[in-house]
Chains A and B, each alone.
Chain A
Amino acid sequence: MVAKAASSKSTEFGEGANLMTFSIMDFVIFGSERSMFFPPPTSSTAAEVDSLFYFILWVCVVFFIVIVGVMGYCLIRYRERPGVKAEPSASHNNILEVTWTVIPGIFVGVIFYWGFVTFLDLRQSPDESYEIQVEAKMWNWSFTYPNGHVDNVLHVPLDKPVRLVMTSVDVIHSLYVPAFRVKMDVLPGRYSHTWFEANKVGSYTLFCTEYCGTKHSEMLSKVVVHPSGEFETWLENAANFLERMTPVEAGEILYQRRGCAQCHSIDGSAKVGPTFLDAFGSEQSLMDGSRITVDENYIRESILEPQAKVRVGYRPVMPTYQGQLKDEEINALIAYIKSLSEGSQVNP
């Protein structure tokens, strides 16, 4: 309970107090300077989760010491010695049984209640939350902002509750930001929700924690927390990149941002999908045995209907981008892929 009070106070006084209370707590617990258990808490709810964690940890430490103590005592005191027999003693004791049922019962009751109350806070987003749509697919994330901008990095404003409305286009994924102590499964065919309020500017790793196939361990992204005011500027700039940039530049941004980079290299190496290097204008074999030339129409078709013409040596696993990329964006991507080929001048 002390830990609870200390850490909720720490969120009010910012980073300095935060570090101090945690270092004191950790010093008390294990004599270390920083928490060996957690990344620093950077959301409004993280400190409360940590407090509960430390409370359970203390309960566990106490019970474990009791177990080890009793066992150690018995092993030394009652070890087998020549000529000494087991002393007659009661083989049951109802009072004792009730005691060691009720006392742990009280502790788990407290843990349950604390976990339950905090959980409700974690699940119920405040009404004034800023809403971002999340779409997960093998193996990347896309985040859609209220103004229609789509990004593969989650940018959020500081000190403002953000509500994520999430769905998946293929299998189950799970969105996890350890720094915020936030996690929620992302399911196909339905929406799930989570929320957080980041209270420290910075960049934090975002993981997928539901196994989703080959590149599950690389389905990472970032959460970038912008200071208030700067978020809005960032969003405006990010949203109109198509107007501000040449198609090739915009295409490169889309290549990074929309998840192409997960499976398609630009250095000639084959990943899950074929490389983009020197792809444009080249002749390739398809799974059905026919051959095609990679041109604008083939690229467009492959983005919108990835399973239609799959190249030999690759699995038909790419999700469709139908309805997710605007025509200008597809044009920009084509321009970018073209720019990666030596012979891109053939078809200017």
Chain B
Amino acid sequence: MIVDINSEKILRDDGVNYLNCDRGWKSWAFTLDHKRIGIMYLAGILLCFLLGGIMALLIRAELFTPGKLYLTEDKYNEFFTLHGAIMTFLFLIPSIPAAIGNFVLPIMVGAKDVAFPRMNLASFYLWVAGAIFFLLALGLGGLDTGWTFYTPYSTTTNSTVIAATMGVFILGFSSIFTGLNFIVTINKMRPAGMTWFRMPLLLWSLYATSIIQVLATPVLGITMILLTAEKMLGVGIFDPELGGDPVLYQHFFWFYSHPAVYIMILPAMGVISELMSVFSRKPIFGYRFIAYSSIAIALLGFLVWGHHMFLSADSPLAAVIFSALTFSVSIPSGIKVFNWLATMYKGSIRLDTPMCYALSFILLFGIGGLTGLFLGALATDVHLHDTYFVVAHFHYVMMGGTLIAFLAALHYWWPKMFGKMYSEKWAKVACLLIFIGFNWTFFPQFLLGSQGMPRRYARYEAEFEGLHRVSTTGAMVLGVGLGLSACVLGHSLWRGKRAPRNPWGAATLEWQTGSPPPHHNFIGKPVLTDPYDYDDLVFDEEEGGFVRRRRRSGSEQEKPIKEPSIV
């Protein structure tokens, strides 16, 4: 590929990229290329999302009537357990970091690969092994503990808890490997000139995420080992009959699983920070505040696990402290939302599909965050805890937040990953359907919860039937929307227009290389610029995308690295 340095225009393209530089299954199975590993992760997590999603639809269908429609209570309990476990451990946690992050992060820092490519591949295979254990639990049947594996139910029930906890244990290592890799890559492999405060904000959020992954995940691993030891060897840790304490399990579990919520949401926030700036054609507002708030969320996120347990034990003092800490973590999230909105001010806002998802994220995450106030406040939490209100709240955060941001990221980097453009029109229709279907499904659940409908109920009182029917109908719309989105992206692989290098006019480094990128990411050295300066990017008809305009005509001088416009 020969590129005109001054305009970044491709003069000649030899058509060789990371997808076609090597052929055969071995070239994928043993690849050390972060891009291919990212794509394999993407395929894996999308399969899991499909599986978890089908279960969600089956659950919603059963809840169309108060009595039995077609699932026995035991089957219903297994389905919601696997839905939760698959969605959190196999989809949400690896979604943005392992799939999108793996692909994008090294190119964003202008590197050839992550710091430890072999560890990266190992991380993927650990994920596969963990997934197999989960499928084993699914195949053997009977995993009905809920994704939280609360003791003593999980240690006394006759089900495949051990297979599932081994799966979680292995997945934990996969997560740690990815985190470690990202920390080292960001610390050591940034190009000269990309200081901490000139990094794209996605890197800040992935860095914050990685810190949590490395520090919190071992606790989950230890917990799962203790659980297995109790179940197999009868060591009394959590079961009061053996002298253990069931609440101790909840502490251990949430000490990981609450920070894990931030593992899921922080990368999503990073993605949104990128998109709001690119599609508003304006530097991100309050760069430092967004960057610091990521770190603040990562650190404060470690101190709030007790808010899952306000009603578990008789200590009002602990509840009060955790409630206060919980509110403190809401502030940095709010700061991010306000900065994103301020980024739009005086911009030139383009509503391409990724931006539609990003706006959808802000609204849904906004509702998710605000409804968290009801649950953080002690008195109202007593009423709302373990009801559908909580179910609605975390689906707004995890699905309206992380999943929507994942879809935004997927649509944003899709041209870079596969070199194809999808149909903007149909992708937007899908985005709208998902937005409508999502609210249709989950908003009624807030009302169900405040009216007193407990969660994890296979059967329910007749008074709740109306809202459950609304919710189930919405879930079908949501399913259609997601299906359409899959069709649009799938169709683009066959029939999509060839993607330009920089279809959105973004200024981060990955858009300087080909779509898809060559095996080593860049031919020649990428030109480092302010990641949020769009002044010199202009649309080029011939290229079909954006190119960097020559700053001074006739001069061969490259544009100097501008001081980033930050505090």
Contact = CB atoms under 8 A, between A and B. Distances in A.
B57 to A, nearest CB: 19
B373 A71 contact: no
A72 to B, nearest CB: 10
A216 interface: yes
B455 A209 contact: yes
A36 B77 contact: no
Interface in B264-304: 280-289
A100 B335 CA distance: 7
A44 to B, nearest CB: 13
A211 to B, nearest CB: 4
A313 to B, nearest CB: 14
A184 B338 contact: no
B378 A67 contact: no
B423 interface: no
Interface in A168-223: 170-172, 174, 176, 178-179, 181-185, 187-190, 192-193, 205, 207-218, 220
B383 A183 contact: yes
B451 A60 contact: no
Given A187-B246, A218-B459, A112 B377 contact: yes
B452 A52 contact: no
Contacts of A181: 382-383
A196 B31 CA distance: 63
Interface string B326-351: 01001100110111011011111111
Interface stretch (B2-10, B89-97, B144-152): B144-152
A315 B158 contact: yes
Nearest to B338: A100
A114 B474 CA distance: 35
Nearest to B385: A183
B152 A170 contact: yes
A183 B347 contact: no
B230 interface: no
Interface residues of A, number: 88
Contact of B362 (A67, A111, A176): A67
Contact of A116 (B282, B320, B532): B320
B313 A192 contact: yes
B73 A214 contact: yes
B360 to A, nearest CB: 11
A189 B240 contact: yes
B187 interface: no
B382 A49 contact: yes
A97 B289 contact: yes
A190 B320 CA distance: 22
A89 B145 CA distance: 54
B312 interface: yes
Contacts of A89: 282, 345-346
Contacts of A233: none
B347 A214 contact: no
B461 interface: yes
Contacts of A208: 454
B551 interface: no
B190 interface: no
A239 to B, nearest CB: 30
B457 A114 contact: no
Nearest to B146: A211
Contacts of A268: none
B346 A78 contact: yes
Contact of B324 (A36, A112, A117, A174): A112
Given A71-B362, A91-B285, A111-B377, A188 B280 contact: no
Contact of B379 (A52, A78, A178): A52
A100 B342 CA distance: 11
Given A104-B334, A111-B327, A174 B77 contact: no
A115 interface: yes
> Which has the most chain B C-beta neighbours within 10 Å: A37, A71, A205?
A71
B557 interface: no
A60 B382 contact: no
A156 B379 CA distance: 23
B196 interface: no
A213 B312 contact: no
A189 B380 contact: no
What's the interface size class on B, roughly? Answer: 35 or more
B118 to A, nearest CB: 40
B565 A205 contact: no
Contacts of A37: 447, 450-451
B28 interface: no
B334 A100 contact: yes
Interface in B133-168: 144-146, 150, 152-153, 156-158
A64 B370 contact: yes
Given A78-B348, A79-B349, A217 B73 contact: yes
Nearest to B152: A171
B566 interface: yes
A209 B316 CA distance: 20
B284 A111 contact: no
B373 A216 contact: no
Given A116-B323, A185-B312, A211-B150, A94 B567 contact: yes
A317 to B, nearest CB: 9
A112 to B, nearest CB: 5
A101 interface: yes
B152 A183 contact: no
A105 B382 contact: no
B350 A80 contact: yes
B394 interface: no
Nearest to A190: B240
Given A74-B345, A86-B346, A100-B334, A123 B158 contact: no
Given A116-B378, A171-B152, A178-B451, A213 B311 contact: no
A48 to B, nearest CB: 7
Contact of A213 (B144, B282, B377, B455): B144
B374 interface: yes
B534 A104 contact: no
11 contacts: A75-B344, A79-B348, A85-B281, A108-B373, A122-B379, A171-B150, A174-B386, A176-B387, A178-B383, A182-B382, A211-B455
Given A53-B380, A187-B240, 15 more contacts: A78-B346, A80-B348, A86-B347, A93-B342, A96-B342, A97-B335, A111-B373, A119-B320, A121-B379, A122-B379, A171-B150, A174-B311, A178-B452, A185-B313, A217-B460
Task: In the A-B complex, list the 8 residue pairs whose CB atoms are closest, starting with the nearest.
Answer: A178-B452, A189-B240, A115-B377, A119-B378, A118-B379, A217-B457, A74-B344, A209-B386
Interface of A: 36-39, 48-49, 52-53, 56-57, 59-60, 63-64, 67-68, 70-71, 74-75, 78-81, 84-94, 96-97, 100-101, 104-105, 108-109, 111-112, 114-123, 170-172, 174, 176, 178-179, 181-185, 187-190, 192-193, 205, 207-218, 220, 315
